[in-house]
Amino acid sequence: MMCQSCSDLHTRFSAISHHKVEDLSNMTAEKLAASQPDHCSVHTSKPCELFCPTHGAAICHLCASAKHRACPDLTELAEAADKSREELSQMVTSLLTEEQQLEEAVAALERHLEATEKVVQEAVAEIDRTCDKLENSVKECRRRLKELTLDAKAKVKDTVLAVNVTLLDHRGRLTSHRRVADRTTRGSTNKGMCDVTRALRDRVKDILVTCGQRRADFKSVSMVTLTIDAAAVARIEKELSELGQVKIRPASVGPVQNLGWCFHTNHGEDIVLSNDGLTAERVRGYKNGIVVADQPMVPDVLYEIRIDKRDPQYGSCNLPCGVVLTDPDHLRLPDTAVNGWGSEAVVISDAVFNREHTDNNNLNNATYNLSEGTRVGVMVTTKAELHLWVNGSDRGVIATTVPTPCFAFFDLLFMYKRVSILPSTHLGLERNTEIHSPMSGRRDI
């Protein structure tokens, strides 16, 4: 350690002016250790100047002549250190690459969990809708059968009451005639008895005939019966037991190997590609920055870029992105994507410009004022639905019935200056929850 005066003297004397002087405030323990000369472990006063690959040891010249004379390939220690430094650098690069791939795999699994949660929520909602519909159908069936039963009861009751009234009326007539005949038998003269008998004979005969008919009416009254089709009940119970089938099947998750997409050479006139087409930068102006994928989108694969650099001279804006429906080899490139393609593309910006109409779609500024390091991607599912992803989060269905083939694109407008392609990720999650209703037919979630 030296003071400033000694440091000044150090630079004046030629004998020591070549010595390297380090600022003490920048000197770390690692730097201090690295700055010390390596000394031979055998001849401790001698510096290590050679390296023996056979023994893997740094040695001095005395050791080389005494103990390592037969060892081949003795090299200068500095040269061996340079080779080791290069090898370590390659190790760091390999480890960093593997670390990035693991981070992508972890991110893919997190996205897979989010997709699983969404599928389960949709499945539960569909189960509720289906079961509610079945429950309402059962309630309606119960109400209808009860109503039919009560209506039948009312009809039977009305019939029975009508017959009962008639029978009571005839019973009264029978009783009155019986009493007349009984009194005549006990207290009338012979002449009176004959007169009464003659008067009652036809009337009693008619009454007896009528009573016989009324007894026949009584025998013909109805009874309520209810028949439940046991076979139909068993069939419905069986279909209900087979109504929903939830299966777990393998789903492809994680970085897609050998997809190898990059930016197409047909790009905005102010764009320069680098890194084998994996990086795009707008080198001037604030528009003419459209870049397009060089190959058609694979269903359920996320085409994602990272914002590497923003241009501070421009204010906040959206990052237009989406899909184009024309092969990039023949694609006309406007200066901006918004309102520049019409029916040739689905453009996501502050709104969704969906081929023939504009849909605000509640984007909530999903692509507005994105910072450096932000990940933005688009994906078309096997159901032809376009999804927007920001920082690993699915912002939902942006457009439906997207035609194929289609190509992902991004528009480097204003503040967005440089972007790089990230490894593509397969986000397909096979949805195997099947709801089969005997009343509404089959519906797949």
Whole-angstrom distance, CA of residue 149 vs CA of residue 222? 13
- For 103-148, the three-class secondary structure string (H helix, E strand, C coil) is HHHHHHHHHHHHHHHHHHHHHHHHHHHHHHHHHHHHHHHHHHHHHH
Structure tokens at 232: 């139909």
Structure tokens at 425: 């990720």
pLDDT band at 436 (very low <50, low <70, confident <90, very high): very low
Domain end (from 180, 213, 245): 245
Q: What is the pLDDT of residues 220-246, one digit of tens each?
A: 667 778 788 888 888 888 888 877 666
Domain end (from 193, 220, 245): 245
Instruction: Name which of 5-9, 182-186, 190-194, 306-310 the model is least confident about.
Output: 5-9
Q: Let me know whether 302 and 422 are in one domain.
A: yes
- Three-state SS for 161? helix
Q: Let me know whether 236 and 380 are in one domain.
A: no
User: Is the pTM higher than 0.85?
Assistant: no
Q: Let me know whether 421 and 312 are in one domain.
A: yes
Q: What is the pLDDT of residues 283-337, one digit of tens each?
A: 998 889 999 999 999 988 889 999 999 998 888 888 899 999 999 999 889 888 8
Q: Let me know whether 380 and 241 are in one domain.
A: no
In a domain, 293, yes or no: yes
Q: Let me know whether 331 and 380 are in one domain.
A: yes
Q: Let me know whether 399 and 297 are in one domain.
A: yes
- Cα separations (Å) of 240 from 134, 144, 342, 410, 431? 9, 21, 49, 49, 21
Structure tokens at 74: 């003795």
In a domain, 59, yes or no: no
**Model pLDDT, residue 25:** 66
Phi/psi at 47 (5° precision): -75, 150
Whole-angstrom distance, CA of residue 363 vs CA of residue 319? 12
Would you list the DSSP string of 360-388? -TT-TTTTBSPPTT-EEEEEE-TTS-EEE
Q: Let me know whether 145 and 261 are in one domain.
A: no
In a domain, 106, yes or no: no
Contacts of 226 (CB under 8 A, 6+ apart): 145, 149
Examine the pLDDT at 364 and tell me if it is beyond 70.
no
Q: Let me know whether 425 and 279 are in one domain.
A: yes
Cβ burial of 360 (10 Å; 0-12, 13-18, 19+) is exposed
In a domain, 66, yes or no: no
Up-side HSE of residue 250: CA atoms within 13 Å toward CB? 2
Number of domains in the chain: 2
Whole-angstrom distance, CA of residue 99 vs CA of residue 394? 24
Domain end (from 245, 269, 302): 245
**Model pLDDT, residue 443:** 32
Q: Let me know whether 233 and 305 are in one domain.
A: no
Q: Domain range spanning residue 181?
A: 121-245
Q: Let me know whether 299 and 220 are in one domain.
A: no
